[in-house]
Amino acid sequence: MAVLIYTAIIVVALVVQTTVFTTWPFFVVIPDLILVLVVLFSLINGPGFGAKSGFLAGLGFDLFVGELIGLHALTKMVIGFTVGLLALRFYKENYVVPLVSVLIATVADQLLYGLGMAFFGVTVPLKYLGEQVLLPLLLYNGVLCLLLYVRLYYFNKKIFYWDEIFRRSR
């Protein structure tokens, strides 16, 4: 049951990111809702869940967009696992931890994706990546994190409660 709910959340996020957010880009950049969800899921549920959700969400995004299939899956999986490992040491109810995690994960995701693109022969100037892409993306993802974290944290508790009730009713 919980898997279906998380899958639905990721599918809705994929649709919103690839349709709604692309219609009103601000500073030529669209927010990375998938990355924000992967980081928040990793903070809440740990490294295993973060890696799985990162891989599936990244692969879904790659299939929606259709370029360099598998690269987003790899970067989001690595980030989900790493953030999940680091989250085991932090107090999750604090607002600063998810915000800093999302900001660091945004930088890491852009660098990993840039390295992956360079590996496949697509070059992106670092100055452009830093000034035109990374700074507005940090702003976007930080705002999304602050808007979503508390809601996802408490919704996650409800999901596990519903899942336990569903298991016991069988």
CATH number, position 42: 1.10.1760
Domain count, the chain: 1
Residue 28: half-sphere exposure toward Cβ, Cα within 13 Å: 7
Decide if 38 is inside a domain: yes
Segment 28-77, tens digit of pLDDT: 788 889 999 999 999 999 899 999 999 999 999 999 887 788 899 999 99
Supply φ then ψ for residue 91, to 5 degrees.
-80, 115
Segment 101-158, tens digit of pLDDT: 999 999 999 889 888 888 888 877 777 777 777 888 898 899 999 999 888 888 888 8
Decide if 92 is inside a domain: yes
Q: Which range marks the domain in which residue 137 is found?
A: 2-152
CA separation for the pair 22, 12 (Å, rounded)? 15
Higher-confidence position of 121 and 14: 14
